[in-house]
Amino acid sequence: MKKVGETTVPKTEDEFDAEDIKKIENYAKAINMIYCAVNPDDYRKISCCTTAKEMWDKLEVTYEGTDQVREAKIDFLTQEYEMFRMKEHENINDMFDRFSKIVNDLHALKKTYTDRDLV
CA distance 3 to 113: 48
The predicted pLDDT at position 118 comes to 64
Query: Running DSSP on this structure, what letter comes out for residue 8?
Result: E
CA distance 69 to 65: 5
The predicted pLDDT at position 1 comes to 77
Domain ranges for the chain, please list them. Answer: 2-64, 67-118
DSSP-assigned states of every residue in 45-95: HHTT--SHHHHHHHHHHHHH--HHHHHHHHHHHHHHHHT--PPTT--HHHH
CA atoms within 13 A on the CB side of 20: 10
pLDDT tens per residue across all 119 residues of the chain: 777 788 888 888 888 999 999 999 999 999 999 999 999 999 999 999 999 999 999 998 888 788 888 889 999 999 999 999 999 999 999 999 999 999 999 998 888 777 677 65
The predicted pLDDT at position 119 comes to 59
pTM over 0.75: no
